[in-house]
Amino acid sequence: MATMVGTQKDLNSLLEQLIELDYDAVEAYDAAIERLAGAPLRETMGGFRKDHLRHIEELSAILRQSGREPPSGPDAKRLLASGKVVIAGLIGDRAILMAMKTNEDDTNTAYERAAGNTVVPAGVKQILQRGLADERRHRAWIEQQVDSLK
């Protein structure tokens, strides 16, 4: 699924959509972790899940400072087409990781756009750049695992 998150012209809207995307990612990680056979894979993916939870906390704090209540879950309109719903039907670690790579492609794109968005002040930009570094690390690790399971 292609995401438009990160292109918003209002900082609060941008942060809200990033938070919703991170909640989507947490749900996808929950589904993946539950289905992965390899304990080392589950452990690393659990760490990535924690990164997404940290992103939610950090971005939510910024929204609260501006007087906005942050989202408390994923966007209700999303069907998690490449997330939880798809992962639930997959069998095998490689297939699950390939689905998770698609999710990480979306989060990478969103954080790249957000970190470069002109509505983002410097202090927030630093937080988004750290989030982007996490997303890049997640995707690189998943790609490496997919290649090793061929």
In a domain, 100, yes or no: yes
Q: In this predicted model, what pLDDT tens digit does every residue of 84-135 receive, in sequence order?
A: 545 656 678 888 899 899 889 999 999 999 999 999 999 999 999 999 999 9
Share of the chain above pLDDT 70, in %: 88
> Distance (Å, rounded) from C-alpha 32 to C-alpha 124?
30
In this predicted structure, the answer to whether residue 79 has a pLDDT above a threshold of 80 is no
Structural domain for 33, as ranges? 11-148
Share of the chain above pLDDT 90, in %: 67
In a domain, 2, yes or no: no
Q: In this predicted model, what pLDDT tens digit does every residue of 110-120 receive, in sequence order?
A: 999 999 999 99
Tell me how many domains the chain contains. Answer: 1
In a domain, 108, yes or no: yes
In a domain, 82, yes or no: yes
Place of tokens 């989030």: 131
In a domain, 79, yes or no: yes
Helix axes 122-148, 11-35, angle to 10 degrees: 20
In a domain, 1, yes or no: no
Single-letter residue type at 89: G
In a domain, 90, yes or no: yes
In a domain, 25, yes or no: yes
The DSSP code for 77 is T
* CATH code of the domain covering residue 140: 1.20.1260.10
For the chain, percent helix, then strand, then coil, each to nearest 5? 70, 0, 30
